[in-house]
Amino acid sequence: MKLRAIATMILSTTALSATAGGFETNSLSTSFMYEKGNYAELGMSSRSPDVKGTVYAPTGSALAKQDYVSLAIKSDISSDLSVGLTSYNQGAVQLDYSSAGSPYAVALPVVDLDINALAVLVKYSLSNNVSILGGAKQSQVQNASANIFQSAGLPASSVSGATETSLLIGASYAIPKIALRAELIYEGDAEFSLDTSNAGVGTGKTSASVPDYMTLNFQSGIAEDTLLFGSIRKADWSNHQITVFPGTPTTSSFTDTTTYSLGIGRKINDAVSL
């Protein structure tokens, strides 16, 4: 069995990544499921946000640097059936004013929250042009801390992690001769009720959730060794807020989002593409 592997690195200095709002950091990628033969890839991303304000973050960023590693592997069971596994960070809130230069930093929020994802996918080719996909995604909230109630004289809340599973389903149409592929994939939501303790008021529940997503991925060859690709991603964030115990009502105000991305890939030689 021959295993092909690819390693990629993405560096970002923007405040927001090209994802569908809320606290999403990375979106589900299914492109590895369309690679020929058995395949594996390793990805690394580093984001250094620059979010400042004249009063609360005059000299540094209120959002901390984020470094993530993703992994995907795919195996062909037959000429028509493939299975794959991918692991990535799908959401985070990394808020810290301590190095932002504000004299009020001691009273400003500090949040350390990460949500990882492990997705299993199955792709079945109905023909050379049409494929269907299905699977499940396990969203994993890591143990977290949220120090957001200083103004009420309360210490930080300690949040225990948990996992929830949601459905993945999709379909694609391809014309291999011109490297055209259009894929529509749906990701179900996941609701969390997290055990939380706060030394000032006792124990309770923090509620959080990952919204459902609908994503249209597309690509097409537009010239020899040149590929146009992009996506449209919609997320139901308005119905998926975060409430950290003992706060009430919700402590977030996310709104529904639609995110567009567009890019061009160029093959330089058999080993290098840009």
Q: Is 205 domain-assigned?
A: yes
Instruction: Name the token pair of 101.
Output: 């230069």
Q: What is the pLDDT of residue 5?
A: 58
- The count of domains in the chain is 1
Q: Is 274 domain-assigned?
A: no
Q: What is the pLDDT of residue 56?
A: 87
Angle at 171 between CA 37 and CA 259, to 5 degrees: 105
Q: Is 134 domain-assigned?
A: yes
Q: What is the pLDDT of residue 188?
A: 97
Instruction: Name the token pair of 241.
Output: 């807020």
Instruction: Name the token pair of 199.
Output: 């030394």
Range of the domain at 39: 3-266
pLDDT digit string (tens) for the chain, length 274 residues: 455 555 555 554 443 444 568 999 999 999 999 999 999 999 988 888 888 888 888 888 888 888 899 999 999 999 999 999 999 999 999 988 888 888 888 888 889 999 999 999 999 999 999 999 999 999 999 999 999 888 788 899 999 999 999 999 999 999 999 999 999 999 999 999 999 999 989 999 999 999 999 999 999 999 999 999 999 999 999 999 999 998 766 678 899 999 999 999 998 988 788 8
What string of H, E and C letters represents the secondary structure of 147-201? ECCHHHCCCCEEECCEEEEEEEEEEEEEEHHHCEEEEEEEECCEEEEEEEEECCC
Nearest to 182 by CA among 242, 135, 133: 133
Looking up residue 103, the CATH number of its domain turns out to be 2.40.160.60
Q: Is 164 domain-assigned?
A: yes
Q: Is 273 domain-assigned?
A: no
DSSP state of 267: B
- What are the φ/ψ torsions at residue 152 (nearest 5 degrees)? -95, 10
Q: Is 187 domain-assigned?
A: yes
CB 248 within 8 A of CB 228: no
Q: Is 240 domain-assigned?
A: yes
Q: Is 123 domain-assigned?
A: yes
Peptide bond into 176 cis (omega under 30): no
